[in-house]
Amino acid sequence: MPYRDEETSVFWIETDQELADAVSTWEECVGLDTEFIRTDTFYPIPGLYQVASGAEIFLLDPLTIENWQPFADYLQDDTKVKVMHACQEDLELINHHLGINPVNIFDTQFANAFVATNYSLSYANLARRLVDVELEKQETRSNWLQRPLTEEQMIYAADDVLHLVPMYEALCDALDQCGRAGWFEQDMSTRGVYAEPDPSAYYAQVKRAWQLSQRELARLQALCRWRENAARHYDQPRNRIVWDDHLMALALENQVSSETLQRLLPKNIGKRYGQALLDAHAKGNEAPLPDLLAKPLTPGQTARVKALRAVASDHASHLGFATELLARRKDVEQCLRSYLASAELSEHFQGWRDGILGDQFRQILSS
């Protein structure tokens, strides 16, 4: 059903046939966005897909459409450009909901970081800068699962994709003019792909896990792996299952029993998940020993990170793009750790970054 004004038509798509018909009309380059809810669940719940093709906008209803294959086929067609803004949460939603990874993604927020000093510019601010458009106040707290959507939600949803293709065209011109299109494409080849995290890897993120012995780490890894899988199975946030601190406390125990659980865990957690936690702890006691986690940097190493970041920041400032592309602390720290382990720069600082920073980074790192 047409919705908006004389210049732009907005269509509400709620059946399989309407979706198939709509996709067949889409151009080679479209704007794409999603709206979702993620309050009490592990996975995002899709509330709406928005697609802008030429002067037409399509709002796709995940609550009624069942056959998503035409949409999935379009998203996986590498001859079609899908323009998004800050795409990573949207890609996670699409991966979980449709079981696919879209290809040929162009992220306007990320592209802008290569031609301007803002790393995380909002969609509204970027639209103002690139296409001179003032957007309505955002529906940041909307319930996208309600039906029917309000008129304000419909306007917001349409505006969220309406300007993406013009912004893409402006950014492509800017990237070409400064010779950075190849840099952006290198980074988008990994940034534009979502991979669900390995349940066995979460333990390394737990606060103070680096202080643990190898056997304690093995127990923590087993406990975290169980919790990750449980959170996904029950579709609940991790902390609704059991807190990191509780898993850490259990990992420090050489042996655990029902009495241990009563002492260390809230009553309801021990009652619901007690046997599963006992089993995970036992598996951790029998598992192969993992490597120790990296300790915090020494004062000397911290000083080298500071020197590396200063060099990177100077280059970013001179080149007129976002400092975060070269000098984010976690990236530079990882580069230092990589060099200490292998005398090689980390993967992040290879490719186009090596041509800018490689010699100076190696000189600082080898000193």
The three-state secondary structure class of 81 is strand
CA atoms of 126 and 72, how far apart (whole Å): 28
pLDDT above 80 for 4:
no
Tell which of 191, 217, 247 closes a domain: 191
125 assigned to some structural domain? yes
Considering the domain boundaries, does residue 322 fall inside one?
yes
pTM to 2 decimal places: 0.94
> How far is 356 from 139, CA to CA, in rounded Å?
41
Same structural domain for residues 26 and 120? yes
97 and 136 in a single domain? The answer is yes
Residues 342-352 have a mean pLDDT of: 97
Last residue of a domain, one of 168, 191, 214: 191
Q: What is the pLDDT of residues 17-26, one digit of tens each?
A: 999 999 999 9
Does the pLDDT at position 361 exceed 60?
yes
User: Mean pLDDT over all residues of the chain?
Assistant: 96
Q: Mean pLDDT over residues 140-164, rounded?
A: 93
Which residue blocks in 55-180 are alpha helix, DSSP H? 69-75, 88-98, 108-113, 123-131, 151-162, 164-177
Cα(62)–Cα(46) distance, integer angstroms? 6
Statement to judge: residues 303 and 161 lie in one domain:
no
In terms of domains, do 134 and 247 share one?
no
Name the domain count of the chain: 3
Q: Is the pLDDT of residue 227 over 80?
A: yes
- What domain range is 205 assigned to? 199-286
Q: What is the pLDDT of residues 106-143, one digit of tens each?
A: 999 999 999 999 999 999 999 999 999 998 766 667 89
Q: 159 and 77 share a domain?
A: yes
Co-location of 23 and 153 in the same domain: yes
Q: Identify which has the larger pLDDT, 6 or 365.
A: 365
- Say which residue the tokens 């000083």 belong to: 303
Q: What is the pLDDT of residues 46-85, one digit of tens each?
A: 999 999 999 999 999 999 999 999 999 999 999 999 999 9
Give the angle subtended at the CA of 209 by the CAs of 206 and 214, to the nearest 5°.
Answer: 135
Same domain, 107 and 251: no
Domain boundary among 145, 163, 191: 191
CATH number of the domain that 361 lies in?
Answer: 1.10.150
Looking from the CA of 219 toward its CB, the CA atoms found within 13 Å total 21
